[in-house]
Homo-oligomer: A and B are copies of this chain.
Amino acid sequence: MYPRKLIGLIVVFLLVAPGVRAQTKTLAERRGYPADAKLLIVHADDLAVAHSVDAASFDALDKGGVTSASIMVPCPWLKEVAAYAKDHPNADLGLHLTLTSEWKTYRWGSVESKDKVSSLLDPSGYLWPETGPAAQNIKAEEAEREIRAQIERAIAAGIHPTHLDSHMGVLFSRPDLFAAYVKVAHDYHLPFLAVRVADERAKLLSLLSGKDPIVDSIVMANPSVQAGQWKESYENAVKNLKPGLSEMIVHLGHDDAELQAVTIDHPDFGSAWRQRDYDFVTSPDFKKMLEENHVILVKWRDFK
């Protein structure tokens, strides 16, 4: 833990001096864990997109199957999540800043007035359906305007967000969009998802302050994983977790009529996929493999 500024100059001196040394400590050490601890946030994406996703995610949060989740503010079910947040003030809920509307027969638009963010909208008036056209068309200043509007709408709905991240990675897709994301996160004093990378994108991390946590690795199911290998794939990932902070990103839902219709013609991240993720994170097997591999579960709130 960082010491806090309490009184006078001596304390400020003490704050700065250990602060310099603290930079050499690991994220885990700075939070009181062993230097080589394996910290893991288990994170459910896409809350508010559909009732089926909300119901499954609330259940997984309640059961401790996930530690954190994030909310898609422009989606129709925001008030359902706000009601849950009100009833569960300790739930670790962030905002899944949303600049895409990716399903075929079920769409949403911007929170900000359309004429102020026209570059964010496709010809139908909804947010772009894919990261590609979004990254090609979006003006960074309009993205910033929209994500501020999303944060303000969430706060107005009674949500106290614990962190920010980016739906479909749109805000990680261009340096100016990433800069807007970091700037807004800093303005609201919110931790945000930023991942340690080895390629040229690493230079973007220079925008971070020394206090911003960096996630060392992401675990997420991908379309190459066969349905029958779901648990095995996650088990391998848990066994291979390295010391540091990792985030396991899951997409939860019940494989029902609503979610099948939302994800129609799109098996990747589809209805059956989300049921598999839900079944996995709420299973005793998952809890057991975390224990056997000495994984310490943490939340975004721990980094606020």
Q: Which residues of B contact A78 (CB under 8 A)?
A: 107
Q: Which residues of B contact A145 (CB under 8 A)?
A: none
A55/B104 in contact, CB under 8 A = no
Q: A159-210: which residues lie under 8 A (CB-CB) from chain B?
A: none
B83/A111 in contact, CB under 8 A = no
CB distance from A236 to the nearest CB of B (A): 33
Residue of B nearest to A123 (CB): B156
Query: Given B113, B115, B258, which contacts A258 in the complex, CB threshold below 8 Å?
Result: B258
Q: Per-residue CB proximity of A40-78 to B under 8 Å, as 1/0?
A: 000000000011101100000000000000000000111
Residues of A within 8 Å of B, CB-based: how many? Answer: 35
Residue of B nearest to A149 (CB): B125
Q: Which residues of B contact A76 (CB under 8 A)?
A: 76, 106-108
- Copy number in the complex reads 2
Q: Which residues of B contact A108 (CB under 8 A)?
A: 76
Q: Which residues of B contact A116 (CB under 8 A)?
A: 113, 115
* Cα separation A178 to B114 with both chains bound (whole Å): 27
Q: Does A79 contact B (CB under 8 A)?
A: yes
CB distance from A112 to the nearest CB of B (A): 8
CB distance from A187 to the nearest CB of B (A): 21
Q: Per-residue CB proximity of A83-106 to B under 8 Å, as 1/0?
A: 100000000000000000000111
Q: Does A130 contact B (CB under 8 A)?
A: no
Q: Does A36 contact B (CB under 8 A)?
A: no
A77/B51 in contact, CB under 8 A = no
Q: Besides the contacts A113-B114, A254-B257, what 17 more A-B pairs have beta carbons closer than 8 Å?
A: A50-B258, A51-B261, A51-B262, A55-B261, A76-B76, A76-B107, A79-B106, A80-B106, A112-B114, A113-B116, A114-B114, A115-B115, A115-B116, A124-B153, A124-B156, A124-B157, A256-B257
10 example contacts (A-B, Cβ-Cβ < 8 A) are as follows: A76-B76, A77-B106, A79-B107, A80-B261, A111-B125, A114-B114, A124-B153, A125-B153, A254-B257, A258-B258
